[in-house]
Amino acid sequence: MILSMSGQAWLFLSTIIVGAAIGLLYDMFRIFRKTAPHAGIAVQLEDLLFWVVATVLTFYYMLHRNYGEIRPFVMLGVVIGVVLYFITISRFIVRACVAVVNYIIKVVVAAIRIILVPIKLVVGLIAPPLVKAKGSVHKNALRARRYGRGKIRKTVRNWGIFRRKV
């Protein structure tokens, strides 16, 4: 199909946007890698998944917008879009998203600790009489009780610090 000059210009600009979207997709993988470190084979599988998804999306876009015709300026537009994305805003997006994800993880861990305080308290109060009946295990139960109380104090103190910061 023959495109007019303005049609080619719009196609080129839209492929730059597609390239930036591919860069953003890769940044999602980078954010996942920074927040949840994992083994080398997993990184290789993620890269393979990224390239498969990026290829399918690019192919679908070219099929939909360009009727499957491969034109050099289309491929150049995708490359320019990826490069512009990585030069301009990629660094800021990765930093901000990693900070947000790490903050959410800290909040969830704090919430879990707060939820576990009553359970630790009950275990600390009930365990010694049950273990005392056993006899020689009584000393270990007392140690566990002291350990549980120490953890409760530490969690309460950390919660106070957390509340003041938020």
- What does each C-alpha distance from 48 to 24, 26, 36 come to in angstroms? 16, 11, 18
| 141, 128 contact by CB (below 8 A) | yes
Per-residue pLDDT, averaged over 71-75, amounts to: 86
Spatial distance between the Cα atoms of 144 and 155, rounded to a whole number of angstroms: 16
Flag whether 148 is in a domain: yes
* Domains: count for the chain: 2
pLDDT of residue 13: 92
Spatial distance between the Cα atoms of 25 and 17, rounded to a whole number of angstroms: 12
Residue 102 structure tokens: 């790490």
| Least confident piece of the model among 32-46, 69-83, 150-164 | 150-164
63, 88, 113 — which closes off a domain? 88
Residues 15 and 76 in one domain: yes
Q: pLDDT-derived band of residue 163, with 50, 70 and 90 as boundaries?
A: low
Mean per-residue pLDDT of the chain: 82
Amino acid in the structure at residue 95:
R
Flag whether 154 is in a domain: yes
Residues 156 and 110 in one domain: yes
Per-residue pLDDT, averaged over 55-62, amounts to: 88
Cα-Cα end-to-end distance for the chain = 59
Residues 33 and 58 in one domain: yes
| Placement of tokens 């490069």 in the chain | 83
Kindly give the residue spans of alpha helices, DSSP state H, lying in the chain.
Answer: 5-35, 40-66, 72-88, 90-132, 138-165
Residues 81 and 107 in one domain: no
pLDDT tens for 11-28 read: 889 999 999 999 999 999
pLDDT tens for 100-158 read: 999 999 999 999 988 888 887 777 777 666 555 555 555 666 666 666 666 666 666 66
Residues 57 and 125 in one domain: no
What range defines the domain where residue 56 resides?
5-88
CA-based diameter of the chain, in Å? 92
CA torsion, ordered 101, 105, 108, 114, to nearest 10 deg:
-140
Spatial distance between the Cα atoms of 101 and 32, rounded to a whole number of angstroms: 9
